[in-house]
Amino acid sequence: MTARVLMVQGAASSVGKSIMVAALCRILKQDGYRVAPFKSQNMALNSFVTKSGGEIGRAQAVQAGAAGIEPTVEMNPVLLKPQADSTSQVIVLGVAQSVTDAADYYKDNHKLLPIIADSLAKLKRVYDVVVIEGAGSPAEVNLMDREIANMRIAELAGSPVILVADIDRGGVFASIVGTLALLPLRQRRRVKGLVINKFRGDISLLKPGVEFLEKRCRRPVLGVVPYIRNLAIAQEDSVYLDERRSYIRQGYPDVCIIRLPHISNFDDFDPLETLCNMRYVASVEKLGDPDLIILPGTKGTISDLLFLHKTGLAAKIIEKAKAGTPVFGMCGGYQMLGWKITDPVNAESEVSEADGLGLLEMETVFGADKITSQVEGKVEAGRGLLAGMQGIDVAGYEIHMGRSRGQQSGFVFKITESVNTPSSYDEGGIDRTGMVFGSYMHGLFNNGEFTRKMVHNLCSLRDLPLPEGAALDRDKAYDELAAIFRQSLDIDGLYKIIFGGSHGRS
């Protein structure tokens, strides 16, 4: 069978394209197809490291998980990671190539098209179906002649397009009609169906609107997808944090995650949600008296560290830590826990030095090199929040600039297997009490035994009952997502768009 393609584009950013692609990948997998995701150019702070050590957008790793396959750099050949100084790091086929501003990038981004085309061709040779995700909106008239993420890619792939719009924000009819009206005729013809996403309420009340769209746009509305609460699938955009609601359950640990201005890989903490109450806060007033404070990863470490000092959060976190509140730092958040961060080569920002929180006996120096590696190891520390956890197996991935030195009180992990780094080394840092620790290991809380034991230790230290929740089951979450989309969409209509009238293995 010749590989088929389907592209999901959005009437705006954050309309649910990533989640829809994940759902379609799962549905196609369930129906017996070899399917892969693809996004030519992704701008995101959430990223993932492949087995080869290449860095791609986290959304494509999630979509590959839904498809039941290993993520590869071809699934996201171009990744842009915004930095604190209005520039972006440009990552091509998993490797950081340059740092540039938008104007310079758009002057030369057409040179990336052969790499994009080659990546897509490789996927098409291996899989039955490639589901392509667009970026933002295809109707950005100021970028139409320079974009390499929407209709130009649909034309390159010869792909039909499904247009998705978010009704929860309002203006869904205008956004769909307006998007189609702004597209040149040849591109408009590629749009074969419409999907309304994030609907709340009685769907029968939407019937006149659906009929209007089908008559006005002369395209079928393939479905209306409900607003999905407590979605256990990693979200790509930090807009999700604005929409996210905290659900407070009596007796569960209160985990406070500091919402840094350039927060990245916030899905690191999703597995904690089944065992803890989680809050994202950005001010001293909302910090309260949590059972655990988490400093997450960031693409602007020094900038966000200065934000902590300016807002008073740094002083409050130090105060809480000295009073016995456990504090954990992930990646950039881990670097902030030390004495100082220096960036002599301005690898991340124009600010060359900033004082850390001084909660760990270490300092971090940024260099020009970037570490990207999948890792495996065992817990080495065994006190405080990690009491009784020595020897527990862990696995994850590192993505960071900078190297931290001077953890005189001990390390958290012994890394035994890695890609692009020494095969065995000590990782992370922990203070003498065991109540402040940090690590570069993204994906840490996906290790069920580690997470359950750490939360149980937290409950014992804070005199809380042990939580009853189970560890997050990613496969179950993908199946639940697929079930919602199967119920909401005209799957036969989608298959006709993909396969040109029928589908099947014959």
Sheet containing 292-295, strands listed edge to edge, beginning at the edge strand earlier in sequence = 277-281, 254-258, 292-295, 327-330, 436-439, 429-430
Task: List Cβ neighbours of 75 (8 Å cut-off, separation of 6 or more).
Answer: 36, 37, 38, 39, 56, 60, 63, 64, 119, 123
Q: And the tokens for 263? A: 């927060």
pLDDT of residue 228: 87
Per CATH, which fold does 250-461 belong to?
A: Rossmann fold (3.40.50)
The yes-or-no answer on residue 442 being catalytic is yes
pLDDT of residue 495: 95
Beta bridge partners of residue 370, listed in sequence order: 401
Amino acid letter at 52? S
Task: Give, in order, the Cα–Cα distances in Å from 181 to each of 187, 386, 475.
Answer: 11, 58, 40
The yes-or-no answer on residue 217 being catalytic is no
Nearest to 35 by CA among 493, 495, 396: 495
Helix (H, G, I), strand (E, B) or coil at 3: coil
Segments making up each domain of the chain, as ranges: 4-232+476-499, 250-461
Eight-class DSSP state of 262: T
Pairwise CA distance, residues 86 & 79, whole Å = 16
Q: Which of 442, 456, 459, 503 is catalytic?
A: 442
Do the domains 250-461 and 4-232+476-499 match in fold?
A: yes
Query: Sorting pLDDT into bands at 50, 70 and 90, what band is 273?
Result: confident
Question: pLDDT tens digit string along 99-156?
Answer: 888 888 888 889 999 999 999 999 999 999 999 999 999 999 988 888 999 999 999 9
What mean pLDDT comes out for the span 357-361? 95
What mean pLDDT comes out for the span 281-297? 95
pLDDT at 51 over 80: yes
Min mean pLDDT across 199-208, 239-248, 389-398 is at 239-248
Pairwise CA distance, residues 270 & 268, whole Å = 6
Task: Give 126-193 as a 3 state SS string.
Answer: HCCEEEEECCCCCCCCCCCCCCCCCHHHHHHHCCCEEEEEECCCCCHHHHHHHHHHHCCHHHHCCEEE
Q: Please state, rounded to an integer, the average pLDDT across all residues of the chain.
A: 90
What mean pLDDT comes out for the span 471-486? 88
**pTM (predicted TM-score):** 0.85
| Length of the chain measured in residues | 506
- CATH number assigned to the domain with residue range 4-232+476-499, chosen from the 4 options 3.40.140.10, 3.40.50.280, 3.40.50.10490, 3.40.50.300: 3.40.50.300
Pairwise CA distance, residues 334 & 273, whole Å = 21
pLDDT of residue 369: 83
pLDDT at 506 over 90: no
Q: Which of 25, 217, 331, 459 is catalytic?
A: 331
